[in-house]
Amino acid sequence: MHIMEGYLPAKHCLAWYSVSAPFFAGGVWRIRKILAERPQARMNLAAAGAFAFVLSALKMPSVTGSCSHPTGTGFGAVVFGPAVMAVLGAMVLLFQALLLAHGGLTTLGANLFSMAIVGPWVSYGLWKLGQRLGLSVAVSMFLAAALGDLATYITTSIQLALAYPDPVGGFMTAAIKFGGIFALTQVPLAIAEGMLTVVVMDALAGKVADIRKVSILAGETR
Amino acid sequence: MAKSSRSKWLLLGTVALVVLPLLLVEGKFAGSDDQATAAITHAKPGYQPWFSPIWEPPSGEVESLLFALQAAIGAGVIGYVIGKRQGLAARDDAEH
């Protein structure tokens, strides 16, 4: 889940905003470039944003006996590059902060960093690694989406531990404590997200060989 | 493996991942953010958030309405894109 409104000290809010801002600007630039160079990709770009929209609305029960939701940012990161997700993720986070009191405006910079920057870059890196290691497209996509999702919640745990170090054990103890709440809960959800991401890739790309799917979805080939 | 059967198994797996915790784990299934809030209050007793949401859904019903709306918008867009692609593919097939 996202860090709640008012739960990060003002200094931290400002810091995370300033870390996230350049990524957001880069994402805007990248989206304009994609739309200018391959306008046929705009439908799939919308679908990538929509996927994040759906998945972050689905609060699922987990093995820890609590609920959390996936992020849906790995798919767009693999297909269009991680930069675009900073913008698409911001739309999701704004919707939830303004209409659902979920996350917040003061914590938007921090939540953007975990969900729309760290998660997508981890996904993208793992996708590239998977392809280089010769893993199949489906397995690479699964790992990218699942571990990107998990990376988002590990980041959230670290952000909270930085703001609220344990009075005795300091940062590490707090990181493990918040990790137990967020990251552990997230494990089955991350697996679910990985599987759903492969389903959505198959559905959107249609009946073509796996190896061509990502470039077709990106509008690079037909 | 045919693509449609792959999707079928993956969707079944997802359903199992959601259902099994409900059956096997005893818990209240509250949001993990509520637990984090409790952990913060535990680390810093008496902590008051310094900023409150500008607007909050007036009830659980309205909140679930808005969550459902969010999912519906997203699923609608994805469904539209899939349908559009299939329509275009069918047209291409007809032309060739």
Q: pLDDT grade, residue B42 (50/70/90)?
A: confident
**Partner residues linked to B30 by β-bridges:** A66
Chain B environment of A189 (Cβ under 8 Å): 17
Question: Are A181 and B51 an interchain contact pair (Cβ–Cβ within 8 Å)?
Answer: no
Please check whether residues B12 and B30 belong to one and the same domain. yes
The pTM assigned to this predicted structure is: 0.95
Please check whether residues B44 and B1 belong to one and the same domain. yes
Please check whether residues B2 and B44 belong to one and the same domain. yes
Q: pLDDT grade, residue A221 (50/70/90)?
A: confident
- Digit-coded pLDDT (tens) for A78-127: 999 999 999 999 999 999 999 999 999 999 999 999 999 999 999 999 99
- Assess if residue B22 is contained within a domain: yes
For residues A207 and B19, the answer to whether their CB atoms sit within 8 Å is no
Q: Give the number of A-B residue pairs with CB atoms closer than 8 Å.
A: 182
Domain that holds residue B34: 1-48
> How close A121 gets to chain B, by Cα (Å)?
22
Q: pLDDT grade, residue B3 (50/70/90)?
A: low
Residues 113-172 of A with CB under 8 A from B: 138, 160, 164-167
Question: Are B29 and A66 an interchain contact pair (Cβ–Cβ within 8 Å)?
Answer: yes
- Assess if residue B53 is contained within a domain: no
Please check whether residues B87 and B44 belong to one and the same domain. no
> What value, to the nearest 5°, has the Cα angle with vertex A199 and ends A193 and A200?
85
Which pairs count as long-range contacts for A161-164, CB under 8 Å and 24+ apart, including other chains? Answer: A162/A12, A163/A7, A163/A8, A163/A9, A163/A12, A164/B39, A164/B40, A164/B43, A164/B44
Q: pLDDT grade, residue B2 (50/70/90)?
A: low
Q: Which amino acid is at A182?
A: F
Please check whether residues B26 and B69 belong to one and the same domain. no
Please check whether residues B31 and B63 belong to one and the same domain. no
Q: Is B31 helix (H, G, I), strand (E, B) or coil?
A: strand
What's the whole-number average pLDDT of chain B? 90
**Cβ–Cβ contact A211 with B under 8 A:** no
| Fold (topology level) of A10-217 | Arp2/3 complex 21 kDa subunit ARPC3 (1.10.1760)
- Digit-coded pLDDT (tens) for A33-45: 999 999 999 999 9
- Digit-coded pLDDT (tens) for B57-93: 999 999 999 999 999 999 999 999 999 998 988 888 8
> How close A56 gets to chain B, by Cα (Å)?
8
Return d(Cα B63, Cα B60) in angstroms, integer: 5
Q: Is the pLDDT of residue A1 over 70?
A: no
Q: What is the 3-state secondary structure (H, E, C) of A123-175?
A: HHHHHHHHHHCCCCHHHHHHHHHHHHHHHHHHHHHHHHHHHCCECCCHHHHHH
Instruction: Return all residues near A221 (Cβ < 8 A) that are at least 6 apart.
Output: A212, A215
Please check whether residues B2 and B42 belong to one and the same domain. yes
Question: Are B33 and A43 an interchain contact pair (Cβ–Cβ within 8 Å)?
Answer: no
> How close B96 gets to chain A, by Cα (Å)?
15
Please check whether residues B43 and B73 belong to one and the same domain. no
Chain A environment of B34 (Cβ under 8 Å): 66
For residues A68 and A59, the answer to whether their CB atoms sit within 8 Å is yes
Range A14-19 average pLDDT: 98
State the CB neighbour count (10 A cutoff) for residue B50: 13
Q: pLDDT grade, residue A11 (50/70/90)?
A: very high
- Assess if residue B92 is contained within a domain: yes
**Cβ–Cβ contact A75 with B under 8 A:** no
- Digit-coded pLDDT (tens) for A164-211: 999 899 999 999 999 999 999 999 999 999 999 999 999 999 989 999
Nearest to A101 among B57, B70, B84 (CB): B57
Question: Are A199 and B56 an interchain contact pair (Cβ–Cβ within 8 Å)?
Answer: no
Number of domains in chain B: 2
Please check whether residues B44 and B62 belong to one and the same domain. no
Question: Which residue, among A141, A154, A129, has the nearest Cα to A68 in the 3D structure?
Answer: A154
Please check whether residues B6 and B39 belong to one and the same domain. yes
